[in-house]
Amino acid sequence: MDVPVAATALRQRNLLGIADLSPGEIVLVLDTAEAMKEVGRRAIKKVPTLRGRTVVNLFFEPSTRTRTSFEIAEKRLSADTLNVAIGTSSVVKGETLVDTAMNIEAMSPSMIVLRHASSGACHLLARICKAAIINAGDGMHEHPTQALLDAFTIRERKGRIGGLKVAIVGDLLHSRVLRSNLLLLTKLGAEVWVCGPATLIPPGLDRLGVRVTTRVDEAVEGADVVMMLRIQLERMEGGYFPSLREYFTTFGMTDARLGRAKPDVIIMHPGPINRGVEIASEVADGPYSVILDQVSNGVAVRMAVLYLLAGGADDETVA
């Protein structure tokens, strides 16, 4: 059965970051994801679009949402998928990222979905691999498919992105989700506020066209969208704040704080959630939360990215 979309391909061979996408290309991905979401509502959730293509999922860091939704997306598009288990691969014997990738490349995959702790790892592989590289999160740099699924979810709920007030609160310093979202939301004309402890605000954020504050009430006031970011304890060596309890008291999202936002606010979180640290359970599980919608939409958005990188409607295998 056909994918019901008349899309053109993206200009680039790889998806390394939102930085490389024009506003028109971002909208193309979101529009294509709408059609892919329709495939997910069918009884048989499968189209032959990537039949005969092999996609390798290469995750050097833990993942639940991104890895599983890429795999489901690949299967729904009929690709042959392979998950490399890093813990039982020759990486544990000291094989480098480049050697690992070159050996996988020798088996002629069409695409490699890479998550790696080093910022720029995807750019490195894109220079040496014939396979298309999709960034599934590289260090503190970018997580482009997360920002695309976030934008898809906002547009689905609000009908637009331009002109909305989006407050992003949390660990701004270590977040690749923040970087990709800032690039995307400002490209599409949102008014973006960012908020966190001064120790977790990277220098230069104000030069990216966003408002920066350490006062969470100011960020949330009148917001259409509140996006909470995880406190990334695994990337913190020093003490960025006195205690998790104090962090929650000062920055954690509660029903009372959310009351300052617009009455139809949506609350987002890329996951995994630290309940009682950056967000109260009453908010995460409450009526304004779209956190699980973000996860559902991740499949459609990743299908769209895979489809468009494979050539979109210009590709002879799209049938």
Q: What are the residues binding ligand CP (CB under 6 A)?
A: 63-66, 137, 146, 270-272
Q: By beta-carbon distance, which residue lies closest to ligand CP?
A: 66
Contact in structure between 180 and 17 (CB atoms under 8 Å)? yes
The nearer residue to ligand CP, 101 or 291, going by C-beta atoms, is 291
The nearer residue to ligand CP, 63 or 89, going by C-beta atoms, is 63
The nearer residue to ligand CP, 252 or 270, going by C-beta atoms, is 270
Contact in structure between 172 and 210 (CB atoms under 8 Å)? no
Bridge partners, 166 (sequence order)? 192, 225
The nearer residue to ligand CP, 63 or 317, going by C-beta atoms, is 63
Residue 64 Cβ, how far from ligand CP at the closest point, in Å?
4
Residue 160 Cβ, how far from ligand CP at the closest point, in Å?
24
Residue 269 Cβ, how far from ligand CP at the closest point, in Å?
9
Task: Give the whole-angstrom CA distance, residue 120 versus residue 138.
Answer: 6
Task: Give the whole-angstrom CA distance, residue 61 versus residue 97.
Answer: 13
Residue 300, classed as helix, strand or coil, is: helix
Residue 218 Cβ, how far from ligand CP at the closest point, in Å?
26
Residue 68 Cβ, how far from ligand CP at the closest point, in Å?
8
- Name the pairing type of β-strands 165-169 and 80-84: unpaired
Closest residue by Cα to residue 48 from 113, 2, 108, 82: 2
Residue 246 Cβ, how far from ligand CP at the closest point, in Å?
25
The nearer residue to ligand CP, 137 or 197, going by C-beta atoms, is 137
Contacts with 111 (C-beta within 8 Å, 6 or more apart), sequence order: 53, 54, 55, 56, 131, 132, 133, 134, 306, 309, 310
Residue 137 Cβ, how far from ligand CP at the closest point, in Å?
6
Q: How many CB atoms lie within 10 A of CB 79?
A: 22
How open is the CA angle 259-265-266, to the nearest 5 degrees? 120
Residue 135 Cβ, how far from ligand CP at the closest point, in Å?
11
The nearer residue to ligand CP, 5 or 284, going by C-beta atoms, is 284
Residue 154, both tokens: 């906002």
The nearer residue to ligand CP, 270 or 312, going by C-beta atoms, is 270
Report phi then psi at 146, rounded to 5.
-65, -45
Report phi then psi at 225, rounded to 5.
-135, 130
Contact in structure between 40 and 300 (CB atoms under 8 Å)? yes
The nearer residue to ligand CP, 150 or 224, going by C-beta atoms, is 150
